[in-house]
């Protein structure tokens, strides 16, 4: 039976998605294992946070240029070489471990190299989804892509927490290296169409820096989108504290990597459930409204996470946050796919990702010193806030982080509510026309077998 172009396109996209899913899980095992290894070795939240910083800062510096290059090059080849580069970075760590020469700074360098590879891979992956998936399935494709992150939060911590005592960090990194081959095979057998050239996308062509600047001009001419980016960047700054401090808080409170792994996996199931719901339903019909509601509920989840040193409360609150994350992100990604011409999407996804990563990186930089030097001392049993706030949220190890999360969650709610008061933001869907036709289908084969 001959497949319809839409079914064939979805099959091609699903093939890539499965390969990347396995690779993401493998990378999550390594990241979790190395984070635990560093924290147990140094007992420092600052050094723990630096591994996350090393995995993001290089991408921020070069992301604008990368987006322009992705628009110039073939998305499939970009993803292939990116996965190969990340695999080699993982292999370098493995060799250093096997030769007993691994130092903490080696991990930061390797994570930085992997970060650069990921900075190429992500916008190319987004462009591939736009070109392979029919318009009506954009939100569903976003849900599928984010389900990989959900699986990483569920499967990777459990595997890493259990395996680190059985096969050590050596075996964990070897598993990660093997998973890269699944992603490479999927990309090898799939062909991804190139976007057609548009007048908007061709502005600034010929000069790489002019092409980079075009991303800014595109947002400047669409004030609703630019204001929305400011709101999202502000929210990401607050979320950044959660990203780097949830692990140290759990380890301070409960002391066991296994408990941390199980807790984060249960909480991360919220992300998988939210991703599956987004993929199955296509997400909210009103994208901007869905984005803001998910941000407010997620902020309340972060707020509740810091209230008490109770594993059930922390897990339930984290579950709520992760449940909302894919829905909000899916709404935003669908907006970009609908409102940005395809031959500019490499630049736009890279540019918006750079802004989001820059805001979270500021939190990564501040998280360790704020925790070690300010909030944890404030919430000691004999600290300045022990007799006031400490009577409500408790005192001792991890409660300073809890207070920081309470403040972060509250600010997310306030900023989001204030942002929604902007008419230009609320009416993005009505004021900006869709750039993709409703009847767009792909007629060329995308699988090589």
Q: What HEC string does 235-266 produce?
A: HHHHHHHHHHHHHHHHHHHHCCHHHHHHHHHH
Residue 336 pLDDT > 70? yes
**204 or 431, greater pLDDT:** 431
Q: How far apart are CA 219 and CA 62, in angstroms?
A: 19
pLDDT of residue 303: 92
pLDDT of residue 299: 92
pLDDT of residue 339: 85
Lowest-confidence region among 61-70, 236-245, 418-427: 61-70
**97 or 422, greater pLDDT:** 422
Residue 295 pLDDT > 90? yes
pLDDT of residue 49: 62
Residue 205 pLDDT > 70? no
Residue 421 pLDDT > 70? yes
Residue 447 — pLDDT band, cuts 50, 70, 90?
low
pLDDT of residue 2: 43
Please provide the size of the chain in residues.
449
Residue 351 pLDDT > 90? no
pTM score: 0.75
Lowest-confidence region among 298-307, 407-416, 435-444: 435-444
Mean pLDDT of 119-141: 84
Residue 296 pLDDT > 90? yes
**Can you list the domains of the chain with their CATH numbers?**
5-195+216-431 (1.20.1250.20)
pLDDT of residue 411: 93
Mean pLDDT of 127-146: 84
Residue 297 — pLDDT band, cuts 50, 70, 90?
very high
pLDDT of residue 292: 93
CB contact at 8 A, 189 and 449: yes
What is the rounded average pLDDT for all residues in the chain? 79
**343 or 428, greater pLDDT:** 428
pLDDT of residue 412: 92
Mean pLDDT of 303-332: 87
CB environment 176-198: b (16+ within 10 A), e (fewer): bbebbebbeebbeebebbebeee
High-pLDDT (> 70) share of the chain, %: 84
pLDDT of residue 206: 66
DSSP 388: T
Residue 102 pLDDT > 80? no
* Short-list 397, 442, 64, 408, CA closest to 238: 408
Mean pLDDT of 21-50: 72
Helices (H) and strands (E) in the chain, counts: 19, 0
* Short-list 396, 379, 400, 59, CA closest to 245: 400
Residue 44 pLDDT > 80? no
Mean pLDDT of 268-275: 82
């Amino acid at each position: 039976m001959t497949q319809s172009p839409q079914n064939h396109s979805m099959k091609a996209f699903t093939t890539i998605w499965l390969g990347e899913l396995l690779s993401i899980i493998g990378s999550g095992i390594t990241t979790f294992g190395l984070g635990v290894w560093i924290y147990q070795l140094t007992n420092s939240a600052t050094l723990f946070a630096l591994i996350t910083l090393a995995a993001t800062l290089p991408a921020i510096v070069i992301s604008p240029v990368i987006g322009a290059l992705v628009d110039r090059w073939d998305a499939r080849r970009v993803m292939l070489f990116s996965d190969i580069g990340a695999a080699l970075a993982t292999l370098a760590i493995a060799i250093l471990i096997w030769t007993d020469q691994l130092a903490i700074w080696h991990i930061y360098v390797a994570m930085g190299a992997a970060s650069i590879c990921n900075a190429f891979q992500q916008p190319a992956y987004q462009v591939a989804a736009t070109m392979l998936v029919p318009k009506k399935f954009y939100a569903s494709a976003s849900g599928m892509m984010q389900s990989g992150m959900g699986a990483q939060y569920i499967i990777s911590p459990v595997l890493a927490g259990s395996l680190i005592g059985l096969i050590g960090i050596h075996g964990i990194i070897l598993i990660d290296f093997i998973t890269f081959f699944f992603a490479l095979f999927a990309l090898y057998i799939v062909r991804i169409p190139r976007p057609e050239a548009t007048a908007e996308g061709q502005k600034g062509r010929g000069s790489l820096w002019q092409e980079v600047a075009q991303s800014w001009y595109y947002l400047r001419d669409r004030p609703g989108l630019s204001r929305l980016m400011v709101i999202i960047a502000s929210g990401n700054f607050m979320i950044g504290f959660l990203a780097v401090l949830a692990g140290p808080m759990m380890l301070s409170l409960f002391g066991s990597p296994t408990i941390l792994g199980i807790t984060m996996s249960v909480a991360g199931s919220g992300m998988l459930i939210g991703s599956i719901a987004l993929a199955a339903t296509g997400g909210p019909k009103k994208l901007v409204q869905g984005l803001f509601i998910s941000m407010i509920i997620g902020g309340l989840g972060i707020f509740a996470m810091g209230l008490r040193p109770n594993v059930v409360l922390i897990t339930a609150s984290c579950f709520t946050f992760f449940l909302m994350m894919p829905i909000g992100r899916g709404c935003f990604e669908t907006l970009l796919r609908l409102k940005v011409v395809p031959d500019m999407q490499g630049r736009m996804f890279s540019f918006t990702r750079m802004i989001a990563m820059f805001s979270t990186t500021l939190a990564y930089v501040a998280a360790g010193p704020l925790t070690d030097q300010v909030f944890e001392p404030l919430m000691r049993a004999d600290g300045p806030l022990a007799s006031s706030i400490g009577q409500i949220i408790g005192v001792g190890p991890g409660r300073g982080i809890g207070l920081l999360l309470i403040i972060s969650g509250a600010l997310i709610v306030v900023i989001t509510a204030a942002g929604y008061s902007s008419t230009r933001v609320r009416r993005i869907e009505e004021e900006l026309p869709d750039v993709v036709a409703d009847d767009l289908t792909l007629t060329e084969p995308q699988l090589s077998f």
